Structure 1
């Protein structure tokens, strides 16, 4: 192959740019090579990941041990790799509905099985640390996609009493390893922001306090230094979207106690990001920072960072809604009043908790000038008119699909009554119109707790509609 002089210069520039690119950025760019494709959404079960974990035991350099069982008898595994002296313990899905880091953990295993250009990075990590990863510590909660375990206990408040077998498993492995570092991997509400501003807290960190005074000893300081390094990396991808979790001491919590027991503990919380409902972009970010964290610990690079920079990360606040409609006119007794409307979408589960459709709800009204939304709309000059229920009852959701939804909405209809919706939830996920049972008599008002179905009119002409909490332009 022949190159022109300009072509050679471009090729040389690209090679130099790649060589100068930090290794964590190169790993991030290569992520799709390691992504575990069998898991595509947040809602998966123990039976989905158990075969993946058991197969790892056949791979060179991996050891998979059953640590015990959950209350309902599901196996809890420790995936071990590396041969270094420094012991690093990670655990995910302590809360059954917080699965982002479990997905990233599966990707991480694939990364360490690979044989490619990152071998030097892998060898540095594997020769200096031993990694123990417990994916899905709470498999019973994951089965029904709930926070608590089968006992109804929040395991993150069971570090002292240890009444749950899953809690005892975590305590026992921490004690047996005398782990040097621990990673407590969670998901947080998607409505957290990084301070009092519109950016969602996509990733939040915490080096938990080990006493009420929130003292900083060498154990906690190491955790803070690692966090500072990880935050630096994340700013290249989600600038302004990294938060700092509240560090009030909780004497029953695992993170606080594991810090107290001598393991430098780092809480990582995965929040929200625009247009990422299944948290697949956040999964990729988790993968990248886990690789970077392990490399930092293996090389002790975290020592080059100042713990005081941790306090520059903005603290989590809660200033987000899914949809915020500003300056809309609301009529009461013939008079118009101006309000802002904060709307959130909730997940209505079906198919054994593995799928969901969204249901909107009005959560706040009034002056919301200090709040924000993933979607925001200024309805200045517009009046909210309650949506109407279509007169013709439909036999099923297949019939609703055939209706001209936008034409009905332009006539003021937002809702359709349906005789039979059983087993048709997959259709409901994609409907524009809201649906209710045939015997329902819904009335829609701009009130907290109401279903958000209303038309936005300007001088009597419909301009926009909010249907089941989603904004539609007419």
Structure 2
């Protein structure tokens, strides 16, 4: 039976700004079905909660919002929890075979402030070895107590990423983190690659050409690399841009589809059916996108060189508990080979008039 995503999507939480206050009502509502516990507290004393689902022997640990301003996967894990409550044959099979532990917001202070770092200004994804921060200590303790067989490290990536050299945005990207500087393929890293191959095959049905492979440079201070070093198959999920979807409501759906596919092949013990080598067929991420690309800006402002272009990026800014996307002129010059999520050509009278009616753009280019 075909899954109807709209029926399981958690409608109470949407947009980019997601905090403990936003998800707590949902967590409280599911506490009658699942085990909810406080694993520890953040620098500023906010609760770091986990939800444990299922009773199977295969254990999957996943955590989201390690970076406080990366909330898409938090929404997706809420959708996943709704699916697992759906009492279908698919959900019952997973619950019988797997135990899933989810930390929906690891960095609640960063989530509240809408920052990548925690309240001490530390990037938790560079604190895996020293564990100087309470949030890092909580994650390691959860890992040690739960003893997972698989780890899902859930993140967002910026709108700048495209797939390979194409104009396709990297809506979803994956990585099987390295476990050594040589980036060799251990047994467990190979399993991570096979799971990613399965997720990529699934997503190509919905977003063909919009799945990328994240850079696998080794850094032992990163949590994914650390858990891979401990011989636990670990997968990095990166939620990216879908055209017109700055709230990442479409992207959350594709992350959910990917997570569900990964969990099902773990549950069904069918990982071996996917070819490890196909992992390397997934194109690398590239950074060829601007939010707005304006070509031939000399038509608008004669001070700019002939045939120059302007690349504008949005800066996500927290204003009155909502995110505003403020424009920043990132680059001006020859931007041949670059793409825009929105592109204007000043040689086109319609585009030129549209730009002139947007004072924010005109002021940037003055």
TM-score by length of 1: 0.73
Q: Distance in 1 between matches of 2:305 and 2:143?
A: 61
Q: How does 1:53-202 map to 2 (within 5 A)?
A: 53-59=27-33, 62-115=34-87, 119-202=88-171
CA shift, 1:327, in A, is: 3.1
Q: How does 1:401-416 map to 2 (within 5 A)?
A: none
Q: Distance in 1 between matches of 2:114 and 2:359?
A: 27
Does 2:285 align with 1:372?
A: no
Q: Per-residue displacement from partner, 1:245-291 (whole Å, max 9, x unpaired)?
A: 00010010100001111210000000111110100000111111111
Q: Which SS does the other structure have where 2:306 is aligned? A: strand
2:26 equivalent in structure 1: 52
Larger strand proportion, structure 1 or 2?
1
Structure 1 range deviating more: 240-249 or 164-173: 164-173
1:14 equivalent in structure 2: none
CA shift, 1:178, in A, is: 2.1
Q: Per-residue displacement from partner, 1:124-157 (whole Å, max 9, x unpaired)?
A: 2111111001100000000011100111100000
Aligned-pair Cα RMSD in Å: 2.2
CA contact (8 A) 1:92 1:186 kept: yes
1:356 to 323, 329, 332: 323
Q: How does 1:13-28 map to 2 (within 5 A)?
A: 26-27=2-3
Q: Distance in 2 between matches of 1:140 and 1:91?
A: 15
Q: Distance in 1 between matches of 2:279 and 2:175?
A: 9
CA contact (8 A) 1:178 1:263 kept: no
2:262 to 284, 293, 309: 293
2:364 equivalent in structure 1: 451
Q: Per-residue displacement from partner, 1:156-206 (whole Å, max 9, x unpaired)?
A: 001111111111111111122221100000001111011122111010000
CA contact (8 A) 2:161 2:286 kept: yes
Aligned pair count reads 364
Q: Which SS does the other structure have where 2:317 is aligned? A: strand
Gaps of 5+ in 2: none
CA contact (8 A) 1:202 1:272 kept: yes
2:245 to 276, 287, 297: 276
Q: Which SS does the other structure have where 2:236 is aligned? A: strand
Inter-CA distance 329–181: structure 2 relative to 1 (3 Å threshold)? same
2:11 equivalent in structure 1: 37
Q: Which SS does the other structure have where 2:364 is aligned? A: coil
CA shift, 1:93, in A, is: 0.4
Q: How does 1:230-245 map to 2 (within 5 A)?
A: 230-245=199-214
CA contact (8 A) 1:180 1:262 kept: no
Q: Which SS does the other structure have where 1:68 is aligned? A: strand
Q: How does 1:251-266 map to 2 (within 5 A)?
A: 251-266=220-235
Inter-CA distance 332–110: structure 2 relative to 1 (3 Å threshold)? closer
1:249 equivalent in structure 2: 218
Q: Distance in 2 between matches of 1:301 and 1:214?
A: 25
Whose relative contact order is higher, 1 or 2, with alpha carbons under 8 Å and at least 6 apart?
Answer: 2
Gaps of 5+ in 1: 1-18, 20-25, 386-405, 415-431, 436-443, 445-449, 454-474
Q: Which SS does the other structure have where 2:10 is aligned? A: coil
Q: Which SS does the other structure have where 2:220 is aligned? A: coil
1:402 equivalent in structure 2: none
TM-score by length of 2: 0.94
Q: Which SS does the other structure have where 1:451 is aligned? A: helix
Structure with max Cα Rg: 1
CA contact (8 A) 1:360 1:452 kept: no
CA shift, 1:324, in A, is: 1.4
